[in-house]
Amino acid sequence: MTLDRKDWEWVLTCFGTAVGAGILYLPIRAGLGGIWPMVILTAIIFPITYIAHRGITRVVASCPKPTDIIGAVEYDLGRNVGFAVSILYFLSIVTICVGYATGVTNIVASFLDHQLGIVGFPRAVLTFLLLAGLTGVILAGEKVMVRVTSLMTFPLIILLAGLSLYMVPQWNTAVFSVPFETGDVLKNILLLFPVLVFAMNFSPVCSTLAASYRAQFGADEAVQRTDGIIKWTSLILLVFVMFFVFSMVLATSPEVLAMAQEKNIDILTTMSLVVSQPVLKYLIPLIAFLAIASSYFGHFVGTREGLVGITTRVMAWGNPAAEAQLNRKKINLIVTVAMMVGLWFLAVYNPPILKIIGALSAPVIAIYAYLMPVMLMKRIPRLMIYQSRTAGFIFVMGLIGIAGDFVGSYL
């Protein structure tokens, strides 16, 4: 099916959802493992990403009534299973917020130290000011947040693509110095794959995409159209993300990337410390800040909506009709403040971001986007027509996404 203008707008929306903070940490993990794990995973990540995300949209788009992923699961398997999916969705994005809150603090702290010469600015105060500012944009209302995010997203994509091209003359062969040893390659594939799952993930928007098309079209056409959108999004992501990763890795060295991991900073902040051009020393940290801030908005709102949904469901568990009578505005405000305080505390602690991605965020994303659709298609009669020979492959890759960081860390 040929995509029309509206379909391409959704492709850009899905693409913008995926392009953010995730790709800023992917080159660090990729470069530390040498060139071969990067090449191997680049060869297989497109079908994995496409089939996994397509599974989510098919569950929603094929539902007899227009609804989201939770409503679709409730329709077939009941309220309790739907509630379990809502918790899984919440967990798939809440840990990402922790990484973003930590990352944005580290970007600004590094900028103050190295570019502006302001050394020793209290981390607790800096984190609070940054999170208060970002959360203030969210509290200002959906229109303000969407406008700010849209103003940030497209310049960000252009800047990242431009930086990838700009670094081509700086490419070197340092990453090739890591020898090919089967055991090390396997270990680094296991460590890299969860971070790649995270960087290529746009599952939070898949439910909204499918629900929108199901509200306008019949189930069959909604499935066909969303399949096309997922395919093109996955393909464009493959080219954009992996070119950025290869360009950054080839422009640095394993020693520089090891320093970045030790300092708990992203690849752009790392590049700003090693480039000689004065303009880039100031521009690159700005790009990194835009990337994480734009991602923070969407994931904070998604986390808040998930937590509010869980809270209201629990409060009205014995009487579902009472859920409509709850003061959602008040609950929203309380949850927002509680989330900001929790993120502030964790970001001040400065947990290792790559470990958050590999050991916490990626495993839950793998359960939600890789395992859940496969299991639903085996259990729900209306979804059995979408089963394919690739289901087992996606399920296995989901298991690797769950256990990869843990197993790779101990090999």
DSSP for 139-205, written as a single string: HT-HHHHHHHHHHHHHHHHHHHHHHHHHTGGG--SGGGGS---HHHHHHHHHHHHHHHHHHT--HHH
Contact residues for 385 (Cβ-Cβ < 8 A; gap 6+): none
Kind and range of the H or E run holding 375: helix 372-379
The values of phi and psi at residue 131, to 5°, are -70, -35
Which tokens hold the place of 280? 């880039």
pTM: 0.90
Which tokens hold the place of 231? 């395919």
User: Cα separations (Å) of 162 from 153, 172, 296?
Assistant: 14, 19, 23
Decide: 201 and 36 in contact? Cβ < 8 Å: no
For the chain, the C-alpha Rg in angstroms (whole number) is 21
**Which one-letter DSSP state was computed for residue 125?**
H
Say what the pLDDT of residue 58 is. 95
The Cα 199–Cα 401 span in angstroms is 12
The Cα 8–Cα 18 span in angstroms is 15
Decide: 42 and 36 in contact? Cβ < 8 Å: no
Which tokens hold the place of 359? 């050991």
**Which one-letter DSSP state was computed for residue 224?**
H
Question: How do residues 202-246 score in pLDDT, each as one tens digit?
Answer: 888 888 899 989 999 999 999 999 999 999 999 999 999 999 999
- Chain centroid offset of residue 315 CA: 30
Say what the pLDDT of residue 146 is. 66
DSSP string, 277-342: -HHHHHHHHHHHHHHHHHHHHHHHHHHHHHHHHHHHHHHTTT-GGGGGGS-HHHHHHHHHHHHHHH
Decide: 213 and 222 in contact? Cβ < 8 Å: yes
Domain count, the chain: 1
Say what the pLDDT of residue 280 is. 85
Range of the domain at 340: 5-410
Say what the pLDDT of residue 1 is. 67
Q: What is the CATH number of the domain that holds 308?
A: 1.20.1740.10
User: Cα separations (Å) of 383 from 72, 117, 212, 225, 280?
Assistant: 11, 59, 19, 17, 51
Q: Residues of the chain whose pLDDT is less than 70?
A: 1, 142, 146, 150
The Cα 228–Cα 238 span in angstroms is 15
CB burial of residue 65 (10 Å; 0-12, 13-18, 19+): exposed
Question: How do residues 151-181 score in pLDDT, each as one tens digit?
Answer: 777 788 888 999 999 999 999 988 888 788 8
Q: How many CA atoms lie within 13 A of 121 on its CB side?
A: 18
Beta carbons within 10 angstroms of residue 291's beta carbon: 28
